[in-house]
Each structure stands twice: as C-alpha cells, then as structure tokens.
Amino acid sequence: MKKQAFLISLIPIFLSVSLVLAMPQPTSDGALNFVKTAVNSVLTILQDPKYKGKSASKEQRRRLRVLAEKLIDFKEVSKRALGRNRRKFTPQQMKEFYDLFPRLLERTYLDKIQSYNNEKIVYTYDKAIMLSKNKAVVKTVVTVGPQKTPIDYRLIFRDNRWVGYDVLVEGVSLIKNYRDQFNIFLQNNSPADLLKLLRNKISTKT
C-alpha cells in the first residue's frame, strides 16, 4: 500500500513534466518557420487575382490587417516605441496610445505592402539567430532588379508562440526610429499633445 501511495504521489510530477515537454519551445527553426509562414501568408493575399482591381483594395487591406494582428505583438511594439516615456503617461493615456499607434503603423505601412510588385525575398540563413532565450532575428534580403535591401525581422516568444515586435530595414529599426521621434517631441510637449498628434495623423491619412 505504501508503495502504491508513493507511485500515485508521483503522477502529478510526471504529468507536469509531460506538459512542459509537450509545450512549444523557442527554437531558431521555429522562429524561421514563423517568418516564412507569415511572409507566405501575406504574399498569398497580395498575389490573389481577385484583389487586383482598385475596388478590391479595401477588402485586401482588411485581410492584411487581420493577418497582421495575429503575427505582430502590437502592444510590445507600442511599449518599445515609447520607451521610458511611458512613465509620463496615465493608464488611460497608455490605453489610448496602444490603440492609436498600431493604427498609425497600419495606415503608414499597409500602403507600401499593397504596392508589392513581385519582389524576390531570400532568407540569409537556414536558421534564425537567437538573441536570447526567447528572442530571435530572421534575416532576409528583398531584391528588386539590381537593388538588394536587407530586412531583419525581430521576434519574441510569448504565450507559446513566436510573434514579431520590430523590423530593421538596412539596419534601421522601425521601433528606434519612432522612439527617437517621440523622445524629441515629448521634451517640449505633453503625452496629451502626442495623442492628439497621432489622432490627427490617422484622420488625415488617405
């Protein structure tokens, strides 16, 4: 009986180990596969003939937006873009920033994505480069004729999956670019002023 009781007591331990082993792990192969799958999903939408007409652009954009929300951790992007300036914001202001900043990114970059013209995408390495235990970068080169543009995708492993949090074009970080702009703006302006600026930018973009 004592032996049986002892073995029964080990069941929770065995189960917990099994669950850990079964959970997805942050690997370089997994990070590369995530980016490849994401890029292929975007290209599938961009190359779909039913979205070639101008009237279908709105629906194509909607599908790209839905896909982006699955692939990108916009809250992480927003946090990193503000950096230490988050301390100046009230919780309510941060909530609004988390809403406005992704919408600004969407309005700014979806136009560029929709202008895709069969550019060639080459993966520089056969694995992602692990930056830490749960962060990685996937390096690519986009070729348009003789012009080659390095584009790096930075990822974070969160909630058992990889998600994107930054893009570097020719070594320039999207997040750092915005953070530098926000730093300069907030030296002489308030968080309320920045939120007003973002609202205006979103409403005036076509």
Task: Report the CATH number that the domain containing residue 34 is assigned in CATH.
Answer: 3.10.450.710
Query: Please, are residues 81 and 175 in contact by the beta-carbon 8 Å criterion?
Result: yes
Please check the confidence at residue 21 and state whether its pLDDT lies above 90: no
pTM over 0.85: no
Q: With pLDDT > 90 as the criterion, what percentage of the chain qualifies?
A: 67
Question: Is residue 5 assigned to a domain?
Answer: no
Question: Is residue 200 assigned to a domain?
Answer: yes
Domains: count for the chain: 1
**Domain around 30:** 25-204
Q: Which of 94-103, 130-139, 143-152, 197-206 has the lowest mean pLDDT?
A: 197-206
Tokens of 116: 């895709």
The CA distance from 130 to 136, in Å, is 4
Question: Is residue 19 assigned to a domain?
Answer: no
Question: Is residue 181 assigned to a domain?
Answer: yes
Q: Give me the chain's average pLDDT, please.
A: 87
Q: Which of 99, 97, 116 is nearest to 185 (CA)?
A: 97
Tokens of 85: 């300036």
Kind and range of the H or E element at 204? helix 191-204
Question: Is residue 18 assigned to a domain?
Answer: no
**pLDDT for the residue 108:** 85
**pLDDT for the residue 24:** 67
Please check the confidence at residue 3 and state whether its pLDDT lies above 80: no
Distance of CA 40 to the CA centre of its chain: 15
Question: Is residue 16 assigned to a domain?
Answer: no
User: Quick one: CA torsion of 90, 94, 96, 98, rounded to 10 degrees?
Assistant: 180
